[in-house]
Amino acid sequence: MKLKKFAFPTAFTILFAITVIVVGLTWIIPAGEYQRLSYNSAEPSLVVAKIDGSHEVLPATQATLNDLNVSIEINKFTDGTIKKPIAIPGTYERVAQQPKGIMDITESMVKGTIEGADVIVFILVLGGLIGVVNQTGAFNAGLTALANRTKGKEFLVVFGVTIILSIGGTSCGIEEEAVAFYPILVPIFLILGYDAIVCVGAIFLASSMGAGFSTVNPFSVVIASNASGISFIEGIGFRTIGLVIGTLGVLVYLYWYCKKIKKDPTFSYNYENAESFKQRFLSNYDPNEILEFSWRRKVILCLFVAAFPIMVWGVMDMGWWFPQMAALFLAIAIIIIFLSGLKEKTAIDGFIHGASELVGVSLIIGLARGVNLVMEQGKIADTILEFMSHIVAGMPPSLFLLAQLVVFICLGFIVPSSSGLAVLAMPIMAPLADAVGVPRYMVVSAYNWGQYIMLFLAPTGLVLATLQMLDISYNKWLKFIMPMVIFMFVLSATLLLVQVAFL
């Protein structure tokens, strides 16, 4: 009897299984909470959310923070630097167990999708914009022109994209926004002779490595430093060294992989899906069909490309988030429709088709958020943090920092949001450094490096949405990414130990 070949589960099945496991954990892990502190700008005042559901209003002064053992400057609250409620050290209490049931499995999936509506709309509008541009023939004409100009120098494109995305990650924390770059860059990489894995490497891996070794990223290292009561400038030298070495590591790894698949396409980790992948992203591209790269198509492509630096500028300087980014892409799509001369029905059909291509990606994001909802409602995340804080307390400096790195790798799975993990964990973990005799900025480094090591692997983060978009199974991704996970862990541990040695 011939055995059927094992098919690795899809992203949807993986997330469903994780949701079931987390629901089970709410019956096993004791429920508990920290009191939370937030700033009310309307009064102004500091508000302590008690575990019993009541609220205590306190004066917005440094003395109040000192009384609460919160080592943060009051201006970090009043100027809006810290927006989310932070955990108050020493306030953890056990609460009544709140186990989730069978109905919570599917309900959390639905609620997570609703909660992720802003990201989902952004992705669907992005898909619609791509569909409109495809209808104009601008992609096809542009790709033909690019293929003719990059023969023999293909890796320079990968090199350039990797450097730009790494800088974007370290400076402004490009993560979910990176999804917007796949539709424009994936066809280019395919024309250059590369595969889906190279696309993820140059975009997701590079941006995540940059964010992992953040220098001035406001969504991770800056907010973590503020929540630790220090300036983000502290420790920036070692973070910069890590950024340079980490980015070089990505480039060397991608160069090795690109050289391998250029020599033998069957070496590709995703070779069995190569044709379907090309059909998906190059369905309108025919190398034998020479479309005129007219001024109209050039303008359309320029408008399409311009949307991305405008998006980055809006996030960094204007405080944009997904609704504003979606509105930008929708505006560009409308302008292109009028400029293209397409018939109204043709343009709308293109928009709808493009959006439909990314429905699966959108749902993955919603399901991943559902897992986090179960942990929040089951009140087990704070218990895990309290447990881990006791594990690392009182260790020798070197062992303390290595333990912190491992702790934040684990916490990165439980709280995949960099800003969310910062305001939850740093007020608890950073003061432990004082007792051990190491500067708090080293704990900030351990937080940043640890959570991003997990980001490469965690199904609760962005990775499954990325793989769904590019039709890569999770096991193929693990095969590709594990050498970089080990590399980043060794690099992070080495940098932490070197910092201790310089004390």
pLDDT in tens, 349-394: 989 988 887 788 788 888 888 888 898 899 998 999 999 999 998 8
Q: Is the pLDDT of residue 168 over 90?
A: no
* The pLDDT of residue 407: 94
Dihedral angle sign, alpha carbons of residues 78, 81, 87, 89: negative
Dihedral angle sign, alpha carbons of residues 451, 324, 160, 468: positive
Q: What is the number of other CB atoms lying within 10 angstroms of the CB of residue 229? A: 17
State what percent of residues in the chain have pLDDT above 90. 38
Burial label, 174 (beta-carbon count in 10 A; 0-12, 13-18, 19+): buried
CA torsion 215→119→376→392, rounded to 10°?
-20
CA distances from 406 to 250, 289, 378, 488 (A): 22, 54, 24, 12
State what percent of residues in the chain have pLDDT above 70. 94
Q: What digits encode the pLDDT tens for the residues 404-443?
A: 999 999 999 888 888 888 888 999 999 999 888 899 999 9
Q: What digits encode the pLDDT tens for the residues 293-327?
A: 778 888 888 888 788 788 878 876 787 878 898 89
Helix (DSSP H) and strand (DSSP E) numbers for the chain: 23, 6
With residues binned 3-state (H G I as helix, E B as strand, rest as coil), the percentages for the chain, rounded to 5, are: 70, 5, 25
Q: Is the pLDDT of residue 73 over 70?
A: yes
* The pLDDT of residue 7: 64
* The pLDDT of residue 5: 58
Q: What digits encode the pLDDT tens for the residues 472-485?
A: 889 999 999 999 99
3-state secondary structure 118-154: HHHHHHHHHHHHHHHHHHHCHHHHHHHHHHHHCCCCH
Which has the closest alpha carbon to 439: 235, 173, 162? 235
Residues 434, 476 contacting (CB under 8 angstroms): no
Query: Residue 38, SS3?
Result: strand
Cα 115-281-173 angle, rounded to 5 deg: 45
Least reliable range by pLDDT among 20-34, 54-68, 143-157, 238-252: 143-157
Residues 444, 230 contacting (CB under 8 angstroms): yes
Burial label, 37 (beta-carbon count in 10 A; 0-12, 13-18, 19+): buried
* The pLDDT of residue 447: 95
* The pLDDT of residue 147: 65
Which has the closest alpha carbon to 220: 416, 456, 439, 375? 416
Provide the CA 56 distance to its chain's centre, in angstroms: 35
Q: What digits encode the pLDDT tens for the residues 211-242?
A: 899 888 877 888 899 889 898 899 999 999 99
| Length in residues, the chain | 503
- What are 36's strand-pairing partners? 49, 87
Residue with tokens 């429920």: 31
Which has the closest alpha carbon to 325: 140, 174, 194? 174
Q: How confident is the model at residue 1 (pLDDT cuts 50, 70, 90)?
A: very low
**Half-sphere CA count of 43, side-chain side, radius 13 A:** 13
* The pLDDT of residue 59: 93
Query: Residue 312, SS3?
Result: helix
**Kind of pairing between the strands at 45-49 and 86-87:** unpaired
CA distances from 52 to 27, 33, 35, 99, 132 (A): 21, 10, 9, 18, 53
Q: What digits encode the pLDDT tens for the residues 81-128?
A: 788 899 999 999 999 999 999 899 889 989 988 888 888 888 888 888
Which has the closest alpha carbon to 230: 434, 450, 493, 424? 434
3-state secondary structure 398-416: HHHHHHHHHHHHHHHHHCC
> Residue 40: in which H helix or E strand, if any?
strand 36-40
Dihedral angle sign, alpha carbons of residues 83, 85, 87, 88: positive
> What is the chain's mean pLDDT, rounded?
86
